[in-house]
Amino acid sequence: KAGVTQTPRYLIKTRGQQVTLSCSPISGHRSVSWYQQTPGQGLQFLFEYFSETQRNKGNFPGRFSGRQFSNSRSEMNVSTLELGDSALYLCASSLSLGTGAYNEQFFGPGTRLTVL
């Protein structure tokens, strides 16, 4: 079974631009979560989608948005990029919402975004 895939793996943008990152979950997984990882802040939760609906949201400004498609693939968008948005963006998929005995999160390799 293929793992979580994220595209692109690396991205360089300039301030003020916008960016779209893509995540394909493991087949059969319906929940997709996004995280931002930086050396200073560690891993911070962005949002979680399930059945095309945002179910949970972290403390990020409205410039960060996302969506989920009917095939469970998800995209996140960051508009008006700032230097501080440089980070590794991780996507994780799980079978469902919540934490059950078998509802583990499986992470993709991440997209490394650099804002110049």
Partner 1 sequence: AQSVAQPEDQVNVAEGNPLTVKCTYSVSGNPYLFWYVQYPNRGLQFLLKYITGDNLVKGSYGFEAEFNKSQTSFHLKKPSALVSDSALYFCAVRGMNRDDKIIFGKGTRLHILP
By CB under 8 A, name the binding residues for partner 1: 4, 33, 35, 41-45, 48, 55-56, 58, 90, 92, 97-101, 104-110
Query: What minimum distance in Å lies between the beta carbon of 99 and partner 1?
Result: 4
The smaller minimum CB distance to partner 1, of residues 66 and 110, is found at 110
Query: What minimum distance in Å lies between the beta carbon of 4 and partner 1?
Result: 7
The smaller minimum CB distance to partner 1, of residues 18 and 54, is found at 54
Query: What minimum distance in Å lies between the beta carbon of 57 and partner 1?
Result: 9
- How does DSSP classify residue 76? E
Q: What is the C-alpha separation between 46 and 56, in angstroms, rounded?
A: 8
Query: What minimum distance in Å lies between the beta carbon of 101 and partner 1?
Result: 6
Q: Is the dihedral of CA 19, 28, 35, 89 positive or negative?
A: negative
CB neighbours of residue 110 within 10 Å: 19
Q: What is the C-alpha separation between 95 and 26, in angstroms, rounded?
A: 9
Distances in Å between the Cα of 73 and the Cα atoms of 29, 68, 88, 111 are: 10, 6, 19, 15
